[in-house]
Structure 1
Amino acid sequence: MTTLGDRMLVDGELVAAGRGRTFDNVNPATEEVLGAVPEADAADLERAIGAARRAFDTTGWSTDVELRRRCLVQLRDALRAEVETLRSGYVAETGCPVSQTPGVAIEESIGYLDHYIGLLDTYEWEHTLPTKSVMGRPADRIIRREAAGVVGAITPWNYPLYLGICKVGAALAAGCTVVLKPAPDTPWSSLALGALAAEHTDIPAGVLNVVTTSDNGVAQLLATHADIDAVTLTGSTATGRKVMGAAADTIKRVTLELGGKSAAVFLDDPLLELVVPALAGAVCIHSGQGCTQLTRMLVPRARLDDVVDMAKGAMEQVKWGDPTDPENVMGPVINAAQRDKVLRYYELAARDGRVVLGGKPTDRFERGYFVEPTLITDVDPKAPVAQDEIFGPALVVLPFDDEEDALRIADGTMYGLSAAVFSVDQDRAMAMARRFRTGTVSVNGAQWFDVESPFGGYKQSGLGREWGTEGLEDFLEVKTIAVPPAG
């Protein structure tokens, strides 16, 4: 298999780990070793952080907007030129079905770089407030936005190329330098990003660094190191707590995009037959390994049995198995630990409620980390399967008695990432959308996921925002300069 990355990017050079150590990249569909990946130690990460610090402090990267724009265009074009190589490696290391890769997994995410390229043409880096007497003296005040500094970017395994582009694109556009540390389960996508940046762009040495390690102790340096000014993490809420705590001693800027347990609320009957089957099937996309997937379905109590039957019929039709088969929309989960975690939740579902479909280990394949699409009902809204982010192909259907009950259940988790509401009365749906304690809401199927829309969560789903203008500004500091008025 042809891939673009078996070396790290440190200070402008594609290198092995300093001590020559490696770890295995494993195919979750076959359990075969795909290749060896550099196993960085603390000294390797120190070199990358030092390179990023020097590049920020001694080059013009943070102030040369035109250079940054040119380099992002070059990176986008290089990614597009290698899209088929990226696709084969991506499917192999993530288990994501090839049918899903033209979307946000690969092609769309490459195109998302255009958002930051466009912002660099139009963004107002400073502006002046009207002249005003301040403490008895006239003053003009310049409000200036400047790069935050060195960014430690930590990405998970579910959508590795998209998340690498998301974080690297925003930080580089803002004028920051970056050390990117991908999940050890899916290193190739980030190593490819580093290789293409090194070989096909004018990004100065040290501005972008990509370091791979399976050692969480090494990775923790990104949250504790004094030369890192900001940390951006996408991951579980548990990991987010650890990163936020580790960053506290040096008061780093922290952007966290964390877990979700998102609810789809149906306020009345007419849309059920149109929407329920599609939403039930969508829970299985990429084996449910998406933080915004609508994994709870809230329906009027009188229609619970009908909705369960509709969802069961849809989930039974989901095609799953070999991710290289374009007919399949669901492959394996990422690794054995995740498979076992999902199966434990299936056991809890059988204990606390009713498993309508799936819920068991599968003997459909001799190898691979596969789990069954699973439908759960008759469970208390406070039960673990209705509260926790399972990150597997599991849908929980819950009844409600009235709108206030629906809102209590929908908002009744520690998460606040996303939600959806459906009603033939759009004003009624909008009224509920405004009340959800979530960062994003879909009304009657309208899609919010777009590069111009800020994305992030309330409560323990995170801090800060990605995409939109807000995604750029999360990597900017704000400076106020007061000067005497001219003349």
Structure 2
Amino acid sequence: MAQPLPPLRPDTASRLLIDGTLIPGSGGTFDVLNPATEEVLGRAAEATAADMDQAIAAARRAFDATDWSRDHAFRARCLRQLRDALLLHAEELRELTVAEVGCPTFLTHGPQLIGPITDLGYFADLAENHDWTVDLGEASPMGIKNRRELRSEAVGVVGAITPWNFPHQINFAKIGPALAAGCTVVLKPAPDTPWCAALVGRVIAEETDFPPGVVNIVTSTDHGLGEQLCTDPRVDLISFTGSTATGRKVMAAAAPTLKKVFLELGGKSAFIVLDDADLGAACSMAAFSVVTHAGQGCAITTRLVVPRAQFDDAVAATRNALSGLAADDPTKAGTVCGPLISARQRERVEGYLRLAVEEGGTIEIGGGRPADKEKGFYIEPTLISGVDNSSRVAQEEIFGPVLVILPHDGDQDAIDIANDSPYGLSGAVWGTDPGRIDAVVNGVRTGTMSVNGGIWYSADVPFGGYKQSGIGREMGEAGFSEYLEIKSVARPV
């Protein structure tokens, strides 16, 4: 049975996991900040290009020279070992996650910690239960009788590049199915949240049977290491989550080696309220959604699209709901909106708030830093009215607790507004008439839709988007298949 991790100290997290060994970064260390207090929590390992090269070599060797990709039962056992060990460390990981990510504590009982850890069991089940060989029966092409079969095989070495907003969820949504499929992994986590990955690396090294090189975790502030993963011919697939702008660079960097690329990118999702909906309930849910984790989620609905005849009432209801959802200490019970991740991110959001006014918008509530917060990267929950859907604040991903409210002139107009976006990641609709709701669900071009508060997040539900929200799907069997190649085999009979 795993023993509890010792109290968190900089030396316990400041290690890279490369080839089964926890080692210091060749570049020294870098500061890890608490976004709620702006205090330095400690230091993380600063990897260099040489460290990344070593990690890629280890992953390549583990894939090519061992039977990891073929031993499905062993892979499943290792994944369950990791799940169980992490659950034993849940309370320390919870404290670490809230401190490093700035997420409200309540989210660690779901998608910020426990949910993603538990999901590792689902991926283990996929490793055991997938039909690795499928018999296609006999056929006689050109008069020659053959028996055919399809074999699923691991893609190879996976480079996983992840952001800071939901580090555990996104890290495990990549390494879980990749390992279940038989791949080996080099994980490059965001420099804002290195410890969430580094301590998982420690558990892998000390409390599981993962062979050396199967999982490598490389923390660094050098974004060039992500580009190194993308361009290295020893890497077979890049799985990236982040901004659409960076996604384009990832795609371009990977193109010369023609490696497979999975991209989960930005969103500007619409929350559509039909004229037969409970307006107060819908606006309250839209307000709650946009301030959750300070709006730092790509699938959060940030455009509230309401019937024009009910617009003033919707503004009042949303403003009232936001007034009860103040930005506050993420460790405090009841907090939904914590801080933004960094001073840089807060400045970016503040730039959009200034832009909203320049575009003719009205700040209905919020719009600045909370007066009672001298420290921490906080922004007040904000509602913007008076702009149309062509405005930049309605078209561009802000990644803060900022909601833009827009009027629509009927169901089809609401669909058109939702689709008038470069993105297509998520969305929501509230109404009463099942036929009208279904027409909206069918009409909006987006990867996920919530109906009247329905929750689509689950290990078995594919997640991804249309248009500039990405390429491919994560989670579910569709996400698992991203890490597989199909080999067709025929033999004469």
Equivalent of 1:386, from 394, 398, 401? 394
Give the structure 2 partner of residue 474 of structure 1: 482
* CA displacement at 1:101 relative to structure 2: 1.3
* CA displacement at 1:264 relative to structure 2: 1.1
- 2:465 is the counterpart of 1:431: no
- 2:76 is the counterpart of 1:69: yes
Give the structure 2 partner of residue 205 of structure 1: 212
Separation of aligned partners in 1, 2:170 and 2:16: 18
Q: Given that residues 147 and 476 in structure 1 are in contact (C-alpha distance below 8 angstroms), is that contact kept between their aligned partners in structure 2?
A: yes
Moved more, 351-360 or 37-46: 351-360
Give the structure 2 partner of residue 2 of structure 1: 8
Separation of aligned partners in 2, 1:312 and 1:443: 22
Q: Given that residues 137 and 149 in structure 2 are in contact (C-alpha distance below 8 angstroms), is that contact kept between their aligned partners in structure 1?
A: no
| Sequence identity (%) | 50
Give the structure 1 partner of residue 97 of structure 2: 90
* CA displacement at 1:330 relative to structure 2: 1.4
* CA displacement at 1:455 relative to structure 2: 0.7
Separation of aligned partners in 1, 2:34 and 2:265: 25
CA distances 1:252-280 after superposition (whole Å, capped 9, x unpaired): 11111111111011122332122211221
* CA displacement at 1:118 relative to structure 2: 1.6
* CA displacement at 1:327 relative to structure 2: 2.7
Pairing of 1:193-342 with structure 2 (within 5 A) = 193-342=200-349
CA distances 1:45-77 after superposition (whole Å, capped 9, x unpaired): 000000000000001100000110110010000
Give the structure 1 partner of residue 364 of structure 2: 356
* CA displacement at 1:133 relative to structure 2: 1.1
Q: Given that residues 277 and 430 in structure 2 are in contact (C-alpha distance below 8 angstroms), is that contact kept between their aligned partners in structure 1?
A: no
Separation of aligned partners in 1, 2:142 and 2:283: 62
- 2:52 is the counterpart of 1:40: no
Equivalent of 2:405, from 391, 397, 402? 397
* Residue type of the alignment partner of 2:276: D
Separation of aligned partners in 1, 2:272 and 2:226: 39
Q: Given that residues 135 and 148 in structure 2 are in contact (C-alpha distance below 8 angstroms), is that contact kept between their aligned partners in structure 1?
A: yes
- 3-state secondary structure, aligned to 1:60: coil
Equivalent of 2:189, from 177, 182, 195? 182
- 3-state secondary structure, aligned to 1:431: helix
Q: Given that residues 430 and 443 in structure 1 are in contact (C-alpha distance below 8 angstroms), is that contact kept between their aligned partners in structure 2?
A: no
Q: Given that residues 213 and 219 in structure 1 are in contact (C-alpha distance below 8 angstroms), is that contact kept between their aligned partners in structure 2?
A: no
* CA displacement at 1:319 relative to structure 2: 3.7
For the aligned residue pairs, the C-alpha RMSD in angstroms reads 1.2
- 3-state secondary structure, aligned to 1:440: coil
Separation of aligned partners in 1, 2:291 and 2:453: 18
Separation of aligned partners in 2, 1:455 and 1:36: 33
Separation of aligned partners in 2, 1:366 and 1:445: 35
Separation of aligned partners in 1, 2:105 and 2:453: 25
* Residue type of the alignment partner of 2:8: T
* Residue type of the alignment partner of 1:367: K
Q: Given that residues 79 and 176 in structure 2 are in contact (C-alpha distance below 8 angstroms), is that contact kept between their aligned partners in structure 1?
A: yes
Q: Given that residues 327 and 370 in structure 2 are in contact (C-alpha distance below 8 angstroms), is that contact kept between their aligned partners in structure 1?
A: no
* CA displacement at 1:320 relative to structure 2: 2.5
- 3-state secondary structure, aligned to 1:445: coil
Pairing of 1:46-65 with structure 2 (within 5 A) = 46-65=53-72
* Residue type of the alignment partner of 1:443: V
CA distances 1:441-467 after superposition (whole Å, capped 9, x unpaired): 122222211111111000000011111
Give the structure 2 partner of residue 191 of structure 1: 198
Moved over 3 A (4+): none
Equivalent of 1:441, from 412, 427, 449? 449
Pairing of 1:143-162 with structure 2 (within 5 A) = 143-162=150-169
Give the structure 1 partner of residue 4 of structure 2: none
Moved more, 270-279 or 305-314: 270-279
- 3-state secondary structure, aligned to 1:197: helix
Which runs of no fewer than 5 residues in structure 2 stay unpaired?
Answer: 1-6
TM-score (norm 1): 0.97
- 3-state secondary structure, aligned to 1:135: helix
- 3-state secondary structure, aligned to 2:13: coil
Q: Given that residues 41 and 218 in structure 1 are in contact (C-alpha distance below 8 angstroms), is that contact kept between their aligned partners in structure 2?
A: yes
* CA displacement at 1:403 relative to structure 2: 2.1
* CA displacement at 1:435 relative to structure 2: 1.7
Separation of aligned partners in 2, 1:405 and 1:212: 46
Separation of aligned partners in 2, 1:336 and 1:113: 33
Separation of aligned partners in 2, 1:228 and 1:121: 25
Give the structure 2 partner of residue 417 of structure 1: 425
Q: Given that residues 271 and 423 in structure 1 are in contact (C-alpha distance below 8 angstroms), is that contact kept between their aligned partners in structure 2?
A: yes
Separation of aligned partners in 1, 2:402 and 2:278: 22
Q: Given that residues 276 and 433 in structure 2 are in contact (C-alpha distance below 8 angstroms), is that contact kept between their aligned partners in structure 1?
A: no
* CA displacement at 1:354 relative to structure 2: 1.1
Separation of aligned partners in 2, 1:145 and 1:194: 28
Which runs of no fewer than 5 residues in structure 1 stay unpaired?
Answer: none
- 2:21 is the counterpart of 1:13: yes
CA distances 1:264-321 after superposition (whole Å, capped 9, x unpaired): 1112233212221122122101100011111111111000000000000000001422
Q: Given that residues 319 and 327 in structure 1 are in contact (C-alpha distance below 8 angstroms), is that contact kept between their aligned partners in structure 2?
A: no
- 3-state secondary structure, aligned to 1:327: coil
TM-score (norm 2): 0.96
Separation of aligned partners in 1, 2:104 and 2:432: 34
Give the structure 2 partner of residue 408 of structure 1: 416
- 2:174 is the counterpart of 1:129: no
* CA displacement at 1:163 relative to structure 2: 1.1
* Residue type of the alignment partner of 1:9: L
